[in-house]
Chains A and B, each alone.
Chain A
Amino acid sequence: MEQFGGPMIRMPSHAKKGSVIEIRSLIIDPMITGLVKNKAGVIPRADFIQSVTVTFNDKVLTTAEWGTAISANPYLAIKMRAEASGTLKMTWRDNRGRHWSTKAKLTVR
């Protein structure tokens, strides 16, 4: 079973100008704290997503910094005022040099 990745964005594809839309996201990641013994009696080192960057039309909308207390398979929802059509991009970066990105398009009337 895939342990990492599969990032998803769920948001409306169309919105009225000036309205506020919700952007929901999910990514598969174990968010290992580095504090807990596993069944083998070993404490696996921390392995978790630290940074999330959300841009709209290449301009930073929101950034998030996460610690190990974010639940596994992190869910994140934020909001955005729909002003112009364009592309939303989210990038997740973890403490092991891995990163994932995905995009979603929005049409604003």
Chain B
Amino acid sequence: MSNDINKRREFLMASLKMGAGLVVGSLGVLGARRADAAIKNVPGWPAETFGQKALNAAMESALGTTHVPVSTKIRVSAPTIAENGGAVPVSVVVDWPMTEADYIESVYLFVEHNPLPLTSEYHFTPANGVAYFAERIKMAKTDRIRVIAKTNKGKLMAAAPREVKVTIGGCGG
């Protein structure tokens, strides 16, 4: 008789604990998107280049040089004045063939005086048909956008710096 009571107590305690565990577990699942998950860079993500705090250092890290000839083949479109520095639309197109023999392999976009100048890096294949991208970027203040393209043969070209006047800086949030 006492055994039964003890067993029942044990069972009740165990199920209470399990029940509590289940509740905590499901809160954990629901809350997962808000929980501060551990930082774990995507393997292969160029952390060192994205972590550079000055344009020259970022260029050196990304390209191995800071001297890149300017070319009119790279067209950068951005607003002359951006009302919201938190979302400045930019598009880049490179007037270059995209054949297996000769194509634009990489394009790098920097914002000269942003805390971390390298903003984005694109790797294309001939199947793109054209080296083009459009994105929205944050600019901390009035600044210049620098775009550099690299061909599959390693040829580097830079677009003329593109100034964007920013009325409300975009580093917030």
Contacts and interface: CB of A to CB of B under 8 A. Distances in A.
A97 B38 contact: yes
Chain A residues touching B, range: 35 or more
B133 A78 contact: yes
A62 to B, nearest CB: 6
Given A36-B172, A67-B118, A79-B132, A61 B138 contact: no
A35 B17 CA distance: 41
A69 interface: yes
A68 to B, nearest CB: 7
A32 interface: yes
B128 A64 contact: no
Contact of B120 (A36, A70, A83): A70
Contacts, number: 133
Contacts of A36: 171-173
B27 interface: no
Contacts of B168: none
Interface residues of B, number: 47
B127 A71 contact: no
A30 B172 CA distance: 11
Interface in B117-173: 118-125, 127-130, 132-139, 170-173
B54 interface: no
B46 interface: yes
Contacts of A66: 119-121
Nearest to A44: B36
Nearest to B87: A71
B143 to A, nearest CB: 11
B124 A62 contact: yes
A65 B45 contact: yes
A71 B122 contact: no
Contacts of A102: none
Contact of A75 (B86, B122, B125, B136): B136
B130 A20 contact: yes
A59 B123 CA distance: 14
A18 to B, nearest CB: 9
B122 A64 contact: yes
A33 interface: yes
Interface of B: 33-34, 36-42, 44-46, 50, 86-89, 91, 98, 111, 114-116, 118-125, 127-130, 132-139, 170-173
